[in-house]
Amino acid sequence: MSKASEMREARNRMRENIQESMGYKPTNEELELNEKIQGHSNDLELVPPRYSYIPILTAIFSNGDTIDLTNRINILQVEMNFTRYIFPLFSLQLCIESYYIPNIQFDDDMEFELELRYKSVEETTPILYNTLFKTTLKKVKQNSSPVNIEEEVYMENALYANKQILELKLVQKECLDANKILFSGVYRNCSVLDALCYMSNSLPNKTFIQQPDNLRLYDQLIFTPYNIFYAIQYLDNYYGIYDRGLKMFYGFDLFRVQSNNWFDEKGSNKVKVSFIREQESMDPITHMGAGFSKMGDDNLLTVLPNMVKIVDKRHYIKEVIGTNITSFSREADTIDAQMRNYVNANTDLLKTRTYINNLNNINKEKELYNKTVYTKTLEITIPSIIIDVESWFKSFEVNFDSDHYSSLNAKYVASNYIFKLVNINPNSNGADGFKVYSAVVLEES
């Protein structure tokens, strides 16, 4: 029980004792005032503590040797790009002794154990760190990989323990293992949802599939050997799954297949952009509920205007792509073409874009048309907070408290989310040594 709850209970017991001993009955005005005070106490109780974070990173070589890399981390970045990547991408910048570098460069079977821990920075007494997530990573790319020509720098000797920057790209081992699972076969009297369910059955992660827009029942669906994710992309390319494009995400024990503009309706992330001058001297972030704070259903995030950027595609769409679309499509085994015209009724521009679809995939034609319509896109910087996995797929309800920007008030979906941990004190192995930067790119749903 929190201190606020204990104090409230004590006040209630004291008031009851006074009433019993003296026959006291509060007036209606006093009752209303008491309800307001209790309501305010409840609001304060919902505001969660702030968190500090520390990544615990261990390198495990194929011969069994290990290195603790925690105090050698300069930057650890995790990127979830829901429109370009299927898996989370980890970027790691190390400042590491030269004699470790060749072993890391050439040991393709080595693994990295990463545990991201957090604790409240508002606790008056020391508490143990909790674990936000724990995962195993493998290398997929090396950037800025130095080569030393002097043999002595590889000696494990304090005289030659000079450090250099080593940059790595890593992916979760569970993702790479899932990427190797093959799927093939001929499926009769089958819908695209049936095929998606068959494919996901072979994956270990918890699966969520949004109801497809394509409900047609096919006499047969034929798959040559693909991995699961290529098979789903093949299914979308040839038959069409959603009218607004396909979004896949695999990682952190989740597998999701959904359309680009869909969001989970279980709660929401409420983002308020405040133009009140008094806010500038205050901490710009307040947060209530889950996701940003790990409790409840809804989130409330308040940011200042300088944390928001408008990614404006409006003029590019109007002037380059055009607003009228002519789509020619035909069945794969015929030469007869069908023509469909799509016109954006919101404008009188006459530019035309022609789209040829050799597979007669009507869902793909709808996807192309919808992508040419202007979509509001915002980029919001969120310092000091890591958004939890469940909140990535909720709606982001953005509210500008300024009439000048009220046209941007809408429900958005996340298309890209990045959080970065930066070591501000390389000599520190504690949580205070890492600063958190987050940014989320939102597109109107």
pLDDT reported for residue 294: 38
User: Using an 8 Å Cβ cutoff, are 135 and 174 in contact?
Assistant: yes
Lowest mean pLDDT among 84-88, 157-161, 384-388: 157-161
| Residue partners of 236: CB distance under 8 A and separation at least 6 | 242, 246, 363
pLDDT reported for residue 371: 65
| DSSP collapsed to 3 states, 258-315 | EECCCCEEEEEEEEEECCCHHHHHCCCCCCCCCCCCCCCCCEEEEECHHHEEECCCHH
The 10s digit of each residue's pLDDT in 369-428 is 666 666 788 999 887 778 888 889 999 999 998 889 998 999 999 999 999 999 877 655
The 10s digit of each residue's pLDDT in 334-368 is 555 666 666 655 555 556 666 666 677 878 777 77
pLDDT reported for residue 114: 96
CATH code given to domain 52-178: 2.40.10.10
Q: For residue 354, what are its two tokens?
A: 């022609």
Q: For residue 194, what are its two tokens?
A: 């049936």
Distances (CA, A) of 113 to 103, 116, 305, 438: 17, 10, 38, 22
Cα gap 114→59, rounded to integer Å = 9
At 153, is the secondary structure helix, strand, or coil?
helix
The percentage of residues in the chain with a pLDDT greater than 90, rounded to a whole number, is 31
Residue 48: pLDDT band (50, 70, 90) is very low
- Hey, which residues does 116 pair with through a beta bridge? 55, 133
DSSP secondary structure string for all residues of 312-327:
--HHHIIIII-SEEEE
Lowest mean pLDDT among 33-37, 89-93, 244-248: 33-37
For 73-100, what is the mean pLDDT?
A: 90
Candidate CATH numbers 3.55.50, 2.160.20, 1.10.1760, 1.10.10; the one for domain 182-259: 3.55.50
Distances (CA, A) of 106 to 100, 132, 141, 380: 11, 31, 12, 39
Lowest mean pLDDT among 48-52, 84-88, 292-296: 292-296
Query: Could you tell me the residue ranges of all domains in the chain?
Result: 3-46, 52-178, 182-259, 265-311+375-444, 314-372
The pLDDT of residue 158 is above 80: no
Specify the DSSP class assigned to residue 158.
G
- Residues, the chain: 445
